[in-house]
Amino acid sequence: MLLDVREPWEFELARIEGSVPIPMSQLEGRFTELDPDSETVVICHHGNRSSYVAMALQRAGFESVLNLEGGLDAYSSVDESVRRY
The Cα angle at residue 1 between residues 45 and 51, in degrees rounded to 5: 40
Going from the C-alpha of 27 to that of each of 5, 59, 82, the distances in angstroms are 8, 14, 24
In this structure, the number of other CB atoms found within 10 A of the CB of residue 45 comes to 20
Tell me the pLDDT band of 46, cut-offs 50, 70 and 90.
very high
In this structure, which topology does domain 2-75 adopt according to CATH? Oxidized Rhodanese; domain 1 (3.40.250)
Tell me the pLDDT band of 80, cut-offs 50, 70 and 90.
very high
For residues 43 and 74, the answer to whether their CB atoms sit within 8 Å is: no
Question: What pLDDT score was predicted for residue 20?
Answer: 97
Separation of CA 28 from chain center: 14
Question: What pLDDT score was predicted for residue 58?
Answer: 96
Report the pLDDT averaged over residues 27-45. Answer: 95
Mean of the per-residue pLDDT values for the chain?
A: 96
Catalytic residues: 44
Against a cut of 0.75, is the pTM above it?
A: yes
For residues 27 and 5, the answer to whether their CB atoms sit within 8 Å is: yes
